[in-house]
Amino acid sequence: MKFNLKALMYFVLLVSLLGFLETGYHQVKASLAQKLLEDAWRESMLTGENIKPWSWADSWPAFKLQWLEKQHGKGKGNNQIVRSPIKGKTQSSSHSIRAEYLVLADSSGESLAFGPGLHTPNLFPGEMGNSIIAAHRDTHFKELQGMKLNDIIRIELKSGELRQFQVDKIKVVDADIEAPIVGIAERRLTLITCYPFDSNGEETSLRYLVSATMFRQNDKARNQSGFKKSLETGLPGEPILPNQEFFHPSQLAYRF
């Protein structure tokens, strides 16, 4: 009995050690992958080419996404100046970078293991239509639940060009009923992940979507009274019920 108890203790210690080593392995793997992605992105900006982070990768960093939120009072951090058009004029406000991601060129399972992926590979943010970016709710888009109306999403292309979007819709939809429409007559960006965020990996058909419209200094289409009101309210981005503004009955079940 004494021998069996001692063997059991060694077994428990061995299992604990293996679990610790596995956790450390995944952490090192994730850190190394991120470093390789950043190196590939820097090379892409220098050469203008699509650079794979490792030789057997199926995807590559397509662009950088930054989430900017407005600074209230004297805050520390990497402040940015964002200009929003209202009545043909520009107003400057100080924003700080809340999070940034390297977005991969597709949204395959392999790509989403390392970062957000472009779900519309033929439609980049800023082009005419609804560009969609997906990521997992328990990793890269875990912070999406903190995004608010009027926050800024900035896209940096490998050419160095910056494209800015302002969040104007935050919604929860059922992917078995609705899906984003891609072919719309505006320049829109939509971020999508599973919902709810705290469901411990359980399968769900609900999707959390944050959608933003592109703005430019002299874009008269953004100077309508509705947009002005959206800019001035500053209300938190509480999810609203699904509607048909830029969604249609789903033919695909999104599993992010």
- Distance, in Å, from the CA atom of 132 to the CA atom of 62, rounded to the nearest integer, reads 13
Name residue 68's beta-bridge partners.
Answer: 97, 152
b/e per residue, 143-152, with b = 16+ CB within 10 A? ebbebebbbb
Which residue from 73, 121, 81, 118 is spatially nearest to 97, judged by alpha carbons? 81
* Residue type, position 81, single letter: I
What's the angle, vertex CA 10, arms to CA 9 and CA 16, rounded to 5?
Answer: 90
Is residue 73 exposed (0-12), middle (13-18) or buried (19+ Cβ within 10 Å)?
exposed
**pLDDT score of 31:** 74
Report the relative pairing of strands 187-194 and 129-134 from DSSP bridges. Answer: parallel
Residue 246: alpha-carbon gap to chain centroid: 19
Specify whether the backbone of 236 is left (phi greater than 0), alpha (psi in -120 to 50) or beta.
beta
**pLDDT score of 7:** 61
196 upstream amide cis, omega within 30 of 0: yes
- Distance, in Å, from the CA atom of 243 to the CA atom of 101, rounded to the nearest integer, reads 29
Q: Is-above-0.75 flag for pTM?
A: no
Other C-beta atoms lying within 10 Å of the C-beta of residue 243: 11
Cβ contact 214:165 at 8 Å: yes
Residue 124: alpha-carbon gap to chain centroid: 14
- Three-state DSSP class for 55? coil
Distance (Å) of CA 22 to CA 11, 17, 35, 55: 16, 9, 20, 24
Name residue 163's beta-bridge partners.
Answer: 155
62, two tokens? 């397509």
**pLDDT score of 34:** 86
Report mean pLDDT in 10-residue bins for the chain, 256 residues: 53 54 51 89 96 93 93 56 41 75 94 93 95 92 92 96 95 88 93 87 87 70 34 33 40 38
- What are the DSSP calls for 8-42, one per residue? HHHHHHHHHHHHHHHHHHHHHHHHHHHHHHHHHHH
**pLDDT score of 4:** 62
- Distance, in Å, from the CA atom of 86 to the CA atom of 223, rounded to the nearest integer, reads 5
